Amino acid sequence: MTTLSKSRRSGLPAMHIRPKPLNFHSVQMMVLNGVVRRADRHPPLVPSQREVSAAEAAYGDLSQDSVAKKGWLSRIVLRRVPEAPVCRPVPDKGRRQAAVMVLRSVFVVVLIGTLLWPVAADAVRIKDIGGIEGVRDNQLIGYGLVVGLDRTGDQVIGGQFTIQAMMSMLNKMGVNLVINPIQLLTRNIASVMVTAKLPPFSKPGMTLDAVVSSMANAKSLQGGTLLLTPLKAANQQVFAVAQGPVSIGGFLGGAGGPGGATVIKNHQVTGIVPGGAIIEKELLVDIESWETVSVLLRQQDFTTAIRTAEAIDGVFGKGTAMAVNAGHVKATIPVDFQGRVVEYIASIESLDVVVDASAKVVVNERTGTVVLGEHVRIAACAISHGNLTISVKNTLNVSQPPAPLVGSTAGQTVVTPDVQTEVKEEESRLVVVDETVTLGDVVRALNAVGVTPRDLVAILSALQSSGSLQAKLVVM
Please, where are the H alpha helices in 318-452? Answer: 341-349, 439-449
Specify the pTM. Answer: 0.60
**How would you classify residue 257: left for phi > 0, otherwise alpha for psi between -120 and 50, otherwise beta?**
left
Please tell me the predicted confidence (pLDDT) of residue 25: 52
Model pLDDT, residue 74: 44
Radius of gyration for the chain, computed over Cα atoms and rounded to the nearest angstrom: 43
Distances, alpha carbon 165 to alpha carbons 155, 181, 211, in Å? 14, 11, 20
Instruction: Please report the pLDDT score of residue 293 as a whole number.
Output: 94
For 306, phi and psi rounded to 5 degrees?
-65, -40
396 and 417 in contact (C-beta within 8 Å)? yes
Please state the φ and ψ torsions of residue 67, each to the nearest 5 degrees. Answer: -65, -40
Cβ of 89: how many Cβ atoms within 10 Å? 13
Given a contact cutoff of 8 angstroms between Cβ atoms, the answer to whether 226 and 144 are in contact is: yes
Residues 6+ apart with CB under 8 A from 297: 129, 130, 304, 305, 308, 326, 327, 328, 329
Terminal CA-CA length for the chain: 81
Beta bridge partners of 424: 389
Contacts of 315 (CB under 8 A, 6+ apart): 347, 351
As a whole number of angstroms, the longest Cα–Cα distance in the chain is: 148
Burial per residue of 98-137, b for 16 or more beta-carbon CB atoms within 10 angstroms, e otherwise: eeeeeeeeeeeeeeeeeeeeeeeeeeeebeebbbbeeeee
Q: What does each of the 476 residues of the chain score in pLDDT, given as a tens digit?
A: 444 444 444 444 444 444 445 555 555 555 555 555 544 444 444 455 665 566 556 555 555 444 433 443 344 433 334 444 444 544 555 666 666 666 666 555 555 554 444 444 568 999 999 999 989 999 999 999 999 998 888 887 767 788 888 888 888 888 887 777 666 667 889 999 999 999 999 999 999 999 999 998 888 898 899 999 999 999 999 999 999 999 988 767 665 555 556 677 777 889 999 999 999 998 888 888 889 999 999 999 999 999 999 999 999 988 899 999 999 999 999 988 888 899 999 999 999 999 988 888 888 877 778 888 888 888 888 877 666 555 556 676 777 677 665 655 666 777 777 766 665 656 666 677 777 777 777 777 777 777 777 778 888 888 888 888 888 888 87
Q: What is the pLDDT of residue 358?
A: 85
**Which candidate, 291, 313, 285, 333, places its Cα nearest to that of 135?**
285
What distance in Å separates the CA atoms of residue 126 and residue 136, rounded to the nearest whole number? Answer: 16
Instruction: Supply angle C-alpha 223, 245, 240, rounded to 5.
Output: 150
Task: Kindly list the distances between the CA atom of residue 258 and the CA atoms of 255, 261, 262, 424, in Å, as whole numbers in the listed order.
Answer: 9, 9, 11, 45
